[in-house]
Structure 1
Amino acid sequence: MLDIGYSLSRRFPDPPQTDYRRADVHALRHDLFSGDVYLADTKEDREVSTGWGWVPVLDFAWALCDIVEQIDRDPRGNRSHRRQFAELDFTESTDRMLFERRFGWVDVEADWMPAEEAPLTFSHSLLRREARDFLHDLIADLADMHEGLADNPVIWDLQARFPRL
């Protein structure tokens, strides 16, 4: 029902001299791995996606995992009627992806979606599981493409912070 994916940009390649083993948090989150991302409701055949080519995909995966945890701070969890909000802003733009949780459901929409279009809705537990799977799958893909990335301590910490469920 939920598919999270990415594509890397050929227009914005990573600098060839990059030492991925020693890349710091800023470089990993903002300077490397540019492309596009999407969240899709495969049952409804709808998606929220970027089309700019410059979105740092590792940062997106990292931020998505952070957001899922942020909107889960109410101790009542799925029983909570209070709305919990979070937003993912894109660094080089004023566009935002918006997340709203109420009870066990999360609505996802974006500034660039038409106003009359309904948000995508997923269960919080599904969004959490898929966000973490996406992060780990993305890291595995990037590590296959970039020598030394799997040995970067920042990547180790990130994987430990958001283990697969």
Structure 2
Amino acid sequence: MLDIGYALSNRFPDPPQTDYRRAEVRALRHDLFCGDVYLADTKTDHEVSTAWGWVPVLDFAWALCDIVERIDQDPAGSRASRPQRAELDFTESTDRMLFERRFGWVDIEADWMRAEEPALTVSHSELRREARDFLHDLIADLTDLHDDLADNPAIWTLLARFPRVS
């Protein structure tokens, strides 16, 4: 089973004067809510995670949902034998998280992983479901911390674009 999680950083707090209701997409994606993220297979106890403290967590969740859709564009769907690839670039770094889908499975690797470390392999449908759940749960957590965020139109658009799937 896939678990996607995060921890906000104490070293990179959001500016206290932030108006979350009017925060622009660029600020939401790159300047606010910094911390670390992980994707973990709870059965094998294998994970891909960051440990830098400055990863924009909302941007990660947003980009992950985008990537899941991007690697699902082959009309053959889970029967497609051609690999479909995407990468997630981290701002302020040359590090990348790499996604490769073949058939119904997605291998997830990162530039910072040791060469002998295996990729994290999950089903595409599980990755889609967990990525969207992570996005919705993260936004719920962030709006608990900052009530005005729930009134931001960019957040409404984001939640409508990536609804939860069952």
Identify the TM-score tier after normalising by the shorter chain. over 0.9
2:115 match: secondary structure = coil
How many residue pairs align between the two structures?
Answer: 165
| TM-score (norm. length: structure 2) | 0.99
User: What does residue 94 of structure 1 align with?
Assistant: 94
Where does the alignment leave 5 or more consecutive residues of structure 1 unmatched?
none
Could you tell me which amino acid in structure 2 is paired with residue 99 of structure 1? F
Q: CA deviation at 1:147?
A: 2.3
Runs of 4+ in 1 over 3 A off after TM superposition: none
Aligned-partner SS, 1:148:
helix
Gaps of 5+ in 2: none
Matches within 5 A, 1:1-165: 1-165=1-165
Cα distance in structure 1, aligned partners of 2:91 and 2:135: 19
Secondary structure at 2:147 match in 1:
coil
Q: CA deviation at 1:18?
A: 0.2
Percent identity, please.
82
How many angstroms does 1:34 deviate by?
0.2
TM superposition shift of 1:75: 0.6
Distance 1:144 1:129 in 2: 23
Question: Letter of the aligned partner of 1:7 in structure 2?
Answer: A
Q: Distance in 1 between matches of 2:147 and 2:84?
A: 40
Q: What letter is aligned with 1:68?
A: V
